[in-house]
Each structure stands twice: as structure tokens, then as C-alpha cells.
A = this chain, B = another copy of it.
Amino acid sequence: MTRIVCAQLAPRLGDLAGNQALTVAAVRRAADGGARVVVLPELATSGYVFETSEQARRVAVTPEHPLFARWASAARGAVVVGGFCELGADGHLYNSAAVVDRTGVLAVYRKTHLWDREKTVFTPGRDQPPVVRTQAGRIGVLICYDLEFPEMPRSMVLRGADLIAAPVNWPLVPRPAGERAPEIVLAMAAARANRVFVACCDRSGVERGVRWTEGTAVISHEGWVLGEPDADGVAAADIDLELARDKSLTAHADLLADRRPEMYSALTSATVHTGTVPHACAWSPRSR
């Protein structure tokens, strides 16, 4: 079994040193508790609600920054997936996540789908999200809004992910009484539709008037929530990642083998027919 821990934190906007201490302490506590994978929130080193790109630039770091070695050291053999505000070698800012283990930074992912005003601060990533072979398993990385595009978890699973680790910052939105947060519904569906484990690490508290959902969850390959935050914001679950390798549902049904890729061409076309729809597949007795 592999212990997955999400550490739901409240980073302070613009406080790189304080957030480094906060995240390192969270990684250490998770490792003390037996975590093999530790997921931190999106932009955990910087906070989220920047009003200008200059504010973000002040706390942006490169993957060479010593904080990643501190995560690795605190993790004592576990894998850490955490969000940070990246300064690229090209001078652009990216909303990124690092995958770190004792050997260093294994991969950096730059968020593909930027949410709302992030577009005024960050440059979208141009590379496929990584599926990283780690000692704890094959970990795919997505960030927040990426998860709301069903193409993304599906692509990660087609590329071999057993676990999707997703640093997120989910602003609280209204929902009907008794329902889970909508982002959790989407994550549950992504897990079940792909038989993949999903670990979403949200943040807590309020920042510049934005209240966060505190929706952190570790979700099974069948789409059920296994771990939710305790009073300290720690969501943990012990899972058998090998279960994600078997996509069969019955003797005759298999989630990946049953796909019909030749039917999905609309997904990779740049054309969207929301304005006018060609008269599709109209049936008449004469046409048969």
C-alpha cells in the first residue's frame, strides 16, 4: 500500500520565506506519518491572488531554488508534488508544479489551462503534463482548472498514470445543499472514468476576499473519496496503486479497450460548431 497525503495549507501571499517554512514543515509531518506521496496546493510558495504580474514576479523562483531541495530533504524518500510560481529562463511567469524526490526535481509542469485572471499574469504551458515514474508509482500532474477538461485526465491515463496529483486552489462557489463541491464531482468522475487515483490538494482560509473551498480529497480508482482533510488539513489514504493498471470492468468490458478513438476526431479539431450546426445524421426512410 502507498500512503498518499495532501497537505491543505494557507500560504501567505508574497511571503516566499514563510511559505517555504510552511510547506517544508507540512512535508516533514506527512513523511513522519508514512507518506510516500505528498501533494501541496497550487502556488503554495507564493499565494494566489496577485493583482499584477509584478507581484508574482517578486516571489517567482526557478527550479534551481533551494526550496525544492528542502522539500526533498523533508520528504525523506517520499515524492512531493507541489505548486509554485515559476520564473522561466525565457523571463515569463508560469503557474507550475514540481515533482521532487530525494534525487532532486524530477519534472516541472506548467499549467496548460489558465483560469480567469491568471491569464493576465502567467504564460500557459506548451508541454504535455508529465507522467513521472517514481519510486511510489507513475504520477501524472495536473493543476486545478486542467482537471475540468476531461481530455486531460484521460490523456494522462493513456500515457500510463496510476495517480493524478493535482495541486489546486479552488475558490468557493455556491452549490446545492448536500452536494459535494463541483470540482470534487469532476475529479470523482475523472477517477472513475479512467480507473485512476486522484489526489487534489486545495488550500484553506481566505486571501484578498477569496474564500477557498478546502475541498482537498484523495479519490479512489472507482471514483469515491477515500481521504478528506482532518482538523490540521491533512487528507490521507493508503492505496494500492496497482489497481489502476487494470482497466477491466467485467469479463467483456474494459475502459480503455472499449474506447473508439476513430470516433473522437472532434476533440482534436480546432473547429467548434457552437454557432451553427450542420444538420447531423438526419434519418429518413429513403436514405437507407
Contacts and interface: CB of A to CB of B under 8 A. Distances in A.
Interface in A222-244: 222-224
A107 B154 contact: no
Contact of A281 (B127, B152, B247): B127
Contacts of A120: 252
Interface string A154-187: 1101111000000000000001100100100110
A112 B263 contact: yes
B150 A154 contact: yes
Interface in A100-130: 104-109, 112-117, 119-120, 124, 127-130
Interface residues of A, number: 88
Contact of A189 (B107, B185, B274, B285): B185
Contacts of A277: 131, 133, 138, 159-160
A253 interface: yes
Interface stretch (A24-32, A37-45, A264-272): A264-272
Interface of A: 63-64, 89, 99, 104-109, 112-117, 119-120, 124, 127-133, 138, 145, 148-152, 154-155, 157-160, 175-176, 179, 182, 185-186, 188-190, 192-193, 222-224, 245, 247, 249-253, 255-256, 258-270, 272-274, 276-277, 279-285, 288
